[in-house]
Structure 1
Amino acid sequence: MPVARCGRLGEHGLRARVRAIAQVIGQGAHPSLAGGASAVFGDLVQRLQVWGALELERGRAFLFLPIAFGSGILIYFAAPDEPTLLAPLALTILLAGLTFRLRTHHGTFLALAGAAMVSCGFTVGALRSAWVAHPVLGTEVPYVRLTAWVEAVERREGGDRLTLLVVSAEPALPVRIERLRATARAASGAKTGSAIAIAARLRPPADPAAPGLFDFGRDAFYSGVGATGFVIGQVAAANAGEAPRAIRLRAALDRLRSAISERIRAAIPGPAGAIADALVTGKRDGIPEGLNEAMRAAGTYHILSISGFHMALVAALVFALVRGTLALFPSFALRRRVKALAALVALVVSTAYLVISGAEVATQRSWIMIAVVLIGVALDRGALTLRTLALAALVVLALSPESIIGPSFQMSFAATLALVAGYGMLRPWAERHAENRAGAGRALLSLTNGIAGLATSSFVASLATTPYSAYHFNTLQLFGVAGNLLGAPIIEFVVMPLEILALLLWPFGFDQPVWSLVGSGIHWFVWLMEWVASWPGGRIVVPSFSPLSLALISAGIILLALLTTPLRWAGVPIFLVGLGVLPLRDPPDILIDGEGGSIAVRGSDGRLRALSPRGNRFTLQRWLLSDGDARQPAHDTIRSGVTCDPQGCGAILPGGDRIVVSTDPEGLADDCREARFVVTRIPAPVPCAARVIDLRAIAWTGAVTLHRAGTNYRIETARPAAGGARPWHRPRPSGAMPALLSEPTTAGPVVVAPAAAEPSTEEADPAQ
């Protein structure tokens, strides 16, 4: 009977069949050599059917629902144009109906269920974009006076970053911007919930630094931000009437967080107090950048981000405290479900922690995961199983589908998947052999507890997150395991329990001694992190690789972690193929950012050179990291071989061609005769013997890269020049788009048009 018909047997029949077939396999049935290739193939098919039935019997199909759902979301974001809502919604309903109708046909049911989840993910992505849709600024606005409510204030070393809910703008903006972010160059004095009046220069949210890199504009779109900019002059108080209810709630929450911050920093001065504050309220201002870099080098910077690490610690500590305390009263503990009560109390405290910490998106995802786990504990379900993780992933993706393309979601779920799967694979074997005191099982069981268990967990989590760290940040921290092994116990077993105790004692006035102990623990943590960061060779910069490679690596990890039969080993070749295509990259020879103000070219030594004297340092840094280059933008070699004069800059490409950035109409004709490439914002003269890259077209395409292919060049753009508009793309200018790359012309009168206005070269914060 084929496996596809097993669904008709009912659950009892399927279990009996699986056990019978598994017993045959276990008896060592092997293909007969006399049977030839057909016998070998038939035996392989039978084994695959048996293994597949075993996976279904063990409930592994449910674990692939979030994989299918997430795949649909990824397909939505990869779509060349924004879909209509009706088509994916109708397809999802149709597939869901067919899945229900054919639920008794086992194989067909599984295929249709997977397809329905893919379609559902695609639909949820489209619905989410439609739900948050808002206008996006299309062009720079040099000056505007704004009256706005302050939604959030982020204190930084170079000033404040304000998230503003716009009340009015004078003169009126080209589109109605509801929310924007503006950076003040000094302390603004603004507070959450206050109404302010400012003058600002606004620009559209930043494009990717290059095609395929992180899209800051998309991130801003899903945050409701339609413009970014800089504050001109001082921030003044304004009268905007009664604040909206959401603003009043934010203000009340900010006052609570500020009170906690002031209490902590008064008790623990200096960087240690800033770290203690970050662990509770999520406010990271006041931490010196040098200390941030030391924690990044030691692989412990994630400790400052209130996410799964902190939520798990708080929930576990509260759960253990409540359960242990109630266990001291046997008459109560024997009659009541103490475990469930402790889980519910931990959930309440975790929710309060979510609110106090500012409820950032990453914290919300972590809270959802912890809530699913605690509710499972309260219902006597497995505390942390693969099914719980799958359910948490479905909830997170349904509420925030855009998170799947960000590093936070990918790294947190990869680490959790590896830890849960590894624990699930090794723990049962260790427990079966634990009675033998001299056996490996006893030793392995010991490794899952204590400091050795922490080291193993740190290694597994670091290994699982390595591909995603390399993909998103182009760096590998080799000493991350050592840093977490030395630093995590201090935070986990000393600092966080003491901070919870201090917060509980604060209303009674007995918290100061506890904060002093917290400060001592953090001082030890900082010393260890600076020591680990001082080890040579800990940071490796790796070049960018394709999303296909990351997808194959992820598929391999998922198969190895989720499956239980020999089918899991299919993940190994898939993983290796993903690693094999890593070097298959086509590095660009010419890079131009989304504003046309930063330009880089590949020199004869294969390394990038900055061809724009006033380019954006952040953009250049992203280009260098994407190229696997550890140099800083200010390094002397960044401009070696580049010559500049008042009319522009020039350099030599690897093939010997000369490229020139021309900014002067009077020298443009000479550049056309002497160079093979001319990059300019000025309409090129006719004739022009050089290839011309017209920077005016950047307003349509966003960032551009050119890749040499023989004597020609292949062009990649961050946005499609025509069609393919997505909601987070800035609006295209009106009129016809100039040709981005023009071939040499040899006829016609020499006519040079006046120069167009140069773009602003002021440093922009892409994260605005």
Structure 2
Amino acid sequence: MNGYIAYNLKKEWHNLILWAPVLQGAGILVYFSLSFEPNLTTIILIFLLVLSLFAVIVFYYRKYLILLLIIALLFLGFISAVIKTRLTSTHTINQKIYVKNIIAKVKEINKKGSYEQLLLSEVQNISKIGNIKITVRTKVEENVDIGDRVTLSAVLFPPNIAPAEYSYDFARISYFQKISAVGFATSTVTLYQKANSKKFHEYIESFRQYIYSNLQKNMNKLHANITAALLIGKKDGIDKNVMNVIRNAGIAHLFVISGLHLAFVSNLFFLLFRNAFALSETITLKYNIKKISATICIVPTIFYLLITGMQISAQRAFIMVTLVVIAVLLERKYNSLTSIAFAAFGILLFQPESILKPSFQMSFSAVLALIASYQISTEKLPTGKTIKYFISILLSSTVASLATMTYTIYNFNYISIGGVVTNLVAIPIITLLTIPMGIIYVILIPFKFEWLISGAIEYSIDVVLRLSEKVANVKYSTLYVHSIYPAAVIIITIGLLWLCLWQRSWRFWGLVIIAIGIFIGIFYQIPDILVVSNNAATQENDGLLYSLTKKNRNFISVAWAKQNGQLKALHYKNYNREDKRLSCDDFGCIYRSAGKSVLIAYKQESIVQNCDKIDLVIQLNKFIYPVCNTSVIRYDDLEIYGTHSIWLSSKKIKIKRIRSDRPWHLSGLNAFIQHRKAELA
């Protein structure tokens, strides 16, 4: 076996560089998987010690050089995540607060359905606070723009931690976005001071807002919001029901700024500049207008990247497009796999937290799979151009869907079966009509001729939406799937990388690795009990999740249900049936499974009655309870540590809680410690 691996590695020595960002990413994942915050000095000393040891070994045995490089790349990923966390150092509020007449600078303005959402920075009247995200259901004065200072009163909350074990952790995302608090305005947002001058990023954001406002003037609200999402990455304005239709129809990937957008902009300006230079015979004969045009077209491409909001997928696309230009300038052959590896390495170096985002996972997996499958699809497709085009769409859609399916399930708990059909129509319309016309629309805005093509853009969107609605309404076009283990996701990812990065036949061992990951993922065990301070749900004999409260439609309950492969948690109609695991009275409920029993207590009387009969007590209301030798999850624990997931087996009761002692969760823990000290005092 060692000989087989050594032989193939020798033959594919030139492809080893492609694994550099993989090792870098592994180091980042190790950092984020820790339950504690590592000491930077200790980590550096350990690394220097290990590196020195291996350096001595490599000096005598050159064949171990590869191990030295592996360690260096793993450490690079780990230390970049540590440093980024330390440099970010966001101070988060630890409790609900009321603020009156605060003054802050407007950083972003987003439409969110029928109301607006503001991102405010440089907040005055509150000490040690970074950005705050405010929902405005009252009113924002019309003349408020990016960079202006506004005054308002608001209710602020700490950013929400994840509602379930593998859910989107807004607290962690907010930490790296330097968001210290979220909340809602209780007064009109009024202009305090108009900006005399703006910073560069404020000019860019102002232009994004100008494009968005222009779209709202020339199109109806639905089409304007969809066009804004397609062109400049402003998705928040899209109606929730419409977005659900788009997701269920399997075309949500078209609403991500990607290589299609950046390549179109780059190619458009390349052709414009090249044809303009070609008008002069002197310039054409004296200079290489191809190289000059390729260099200049980077400028509008960078500008477009900035007005899209610098999404991860757009950053990846920009890096890859730039490498194409560099290949033209150096007269070298462009290598797609090397460019995607370079893009991943660069993004992870400066934004290590991005590896945990669905946009990074799905963008890179889809593009990598498409690049790897390209040679097969081009060599074996029919010769007819039209037939070849639509078959290539079908194949690319299928390949991309399969490559991203694991991350879709892990992050969103669904699979869109109808997406393959929808993409056959949607991809040609969006890629050949909507996006090119939209980019031309933006270019025409300064000349006041953009309204000429707004109708054509709206029509193309209507066709895609009508098809999406029909596909989304077909039974079983969308399947809801329970969560899978992170270990399964990592194994499947390794399999995908093995399949796509190697070139020889041993690459197909990646299919075996993927199969192992799928097998592990299938057997994920859903928690028997999920509980937070104001909500609880239990799994019944039918495998479905039932809510103990009437809050089965709130954010937490929906997140729990989705991780169990349900649209929403069900309600108990009868708590005391023999076929149910749960039985209740006026004071609380007892849940029985695998020979264990858990008391969910609403009142202290329930603990008095059942203290010696159960294995675990969950205090679901704030009350003083009697001394009980049984293990207890206190109400304060639920408030501070968030959702508790509980698994019951004949051997033990396993409990996992969401909040950790990492920096993005630390404010809640500090509040908990202060509260405990006050109680003891």
TM-score, normalization by structure 1: 0.78
CA positional deviation for 1:639: 3.7
Give aligned pairs, total: 667
CA positional deviation for 1:206: 0.9
1:703 aligned onto 2:643:
yes
Q: 2:150 is matched with which residue: 165, 189, 196? A: 196
- Pairs within 5 Å for 1:322-333: 322=273
Alpha-carbon displacement from aligned partner over 1:179-205 (angstroms, at most 9, x marks no partner): 222222344345432222222222221
Q: Which moved more, 1:196-205 or 1:301-310?
A: 301-310
Q: Which moved more, 1:218-227 or 1:707-716?
A: 707-716
Structure 2 match to 1:122 = 78
Contact 2:113 2:238 in 1 (8 A): no
Alpha-carbon displacement from aligned partner over 1:46-95 (angstroms, at most 9, x marks no partner): 44433221111xx1111111111111111111122212223333455667
Distance 1:99 1:471 in 2: 38
Distance 1:356 1:418 in 2: 28
Task: Specify whether residues 61 and 361 from structure 1 end up closer, same or farther in structure 2 by C-alpha distance, changes over 3 A only.
Answer: closer
Q: 1:179 is matched with which residue: 131, 153, 156? A: 131
Alpha-carbon displacement from aligned partner over 1:349-379 (angstroms, at most 9, x marks no partner): 2211122233345544443343334333433
Contact 2:529 2:646 in 1 (8 A): yes
Structure 2 match to 1:479 = 418
1:51 aligned onto 2:8:
yes
Alpha-carbon displacement from aligned partner over 1:10-68 (angstroms, at most 9, x marks no partner): xxxxxxxxxxxxxxxxxxxxxxxxxxxxxxxxxx6544433221111xx1111111111
Contact 1:641 1:651 in 2 (8 A): no
- Pairs within 5 Å for 1:111-190: 111-142=67-98, 146-169=102-125, 176-189=128-141
Q: 1:379 is matched with which residue: 311, 326, 330? A: 330
Note the aligned Cα RMSD (angstroms). Answer: 3.5
Contact 1:683 1:694 in 2 (8 A): no
Q: Which moved more, 1:560-569 or 1:364-373?
A: 364-373
Distance 1:256 1:738 in 2: 47
TM-score, normalization by structure 2: 0.87
Distance 2:521 2:223 in 1: 41
Contact 2:531 2:537 in 1 (8 A): yes
Alpha-carbon displacement from aligned partner over 1:701-725 (angstroms, at most 9, x marks no partner): 33211110116411112234xxx54
Letter in 1 for 2:90: H
Structure 1 match to 2:367 = 416
CA positional deviation for 1:501: 2.8
Task: Specify whether residues 320 and 661 from structure 1 end up closer, same or farther in structure 2 by C-alpha distance, changes over 3 A only.
Answer: farther
Contact 1:471 1:545 in 2 (8 A): yes
Task: Specify whether residues 491 and 108 from structure 1 end up closer, same or farther in structure 2 by C-alpha distance, changes over 3 A only.
Answer: same
Alpha-carbon displacement from aligned partner over 1:200-244 (angstroms, at most 9, x marks no partner): 2222211111223332111110000122222223333335x978x
Q: What secondary structure sits across from 2:155 in the alignment? A: strand
Contact 1:603 1:654 in 2 (8 A): no
Contact 1:697 1:738 in 2 (8 A): no
Task: Specify whether residues 418 and 105 from structure 1 end up closer, same or farther in structure 2 by C-alpha distance, changes over 3 A only.
Answer: farther
Distance 2:212 2:360 in 1: 28
Letter in 2 for 1:623: W
- Pairs within 5 Å for 1:572-721: 572-593=511-532, 596-614=533-551, 617-629=554-566, 631-633=567-569, 637-642=570-575, 650=589, 652-654=591-593, 661-664=600-603, 669=608, 677-686=617-626, 692-710=632-650, 712-720=652-660
Q: Which moved more, 1:358-367 or 1:318-327?
A: 318-327
Structure 1 match to 2:579 = none
Task: Specify whether residues 675 and 100 from structure 1 end up closer, same or farther in structure 2 by C-alpha distance, changes over 3 A only.
Answer: closer
Contact 2:370 2:400 in 1 (8 A): yes
Q: What secondary structure sits across from 1:209 in the alignment? A: coil
Alpha-carbon displacement from aligned partner over 1:371-393 (angstroms, at most 9, x marks no partner): 33433343333445111111111
Contact 1:604 1:653 in 2 (8 A): no
Contact 2:316 2:340 in 1 (8 A): no
Distance 1:539 1:688 in 2: 48
Structure 2 match to 1:504 = 443
Letter in 1 for 2:129: I
CA positional deviation for 1:135: 1.4
Task: Specify whether residues 215 and 506 from structure 1 end up closer, same or farther in structure 2 by C-alpha distance, changes over 3 A only.
Answer: closer
Gapped regions of structure 2 (runs ≥ 5): 577-582
Pair member with larger Rg: 1
Distance 2:440 2:672 in 1: 64
Q: What secondary structure sits across from 1:696 in the alignment? A: helix
Task: Specify whether residues 113 and 215 from structure 1 end up closer, same or farther in structure 2 by C-alpha distance, changes over 3 A only.
Answer: same
CA positional deviation for 1:619: 0.9
Distance 1:460 1:447 in 2: 20
Letter in 1 for 2:17: F
Distance 2:595 2:200 in 1: 62
Task: Specify whether residues 225 and 647 from structure 1 end up closer, same or farther in structure 2 by C-alpha distance, changes over 3 A only.
Answer: farther
Alpha-carbon displacement from aligned partner over 1:723-763 (angstroms, at most 9, x marks no partner): x5445433424676999xxxxxxxxxxxxxx9xxxxxxxxx
Gapped regions of structure 1 (runs ≥ 5): 1-43, 431-440, 740-753, 755-768
CA positional deviation for 1:458: 1.7
Distance 1:499 1:735 in 2: 51
Distance 2:619 2:663 in 1: 28
CA positional deviation for 1:507: 3.3
Distance 1:292 1:490 in 2: 18
Contact 2:101 2:153 in 1 (8 A): yes
1:229 aligned onto 2:183:
yes
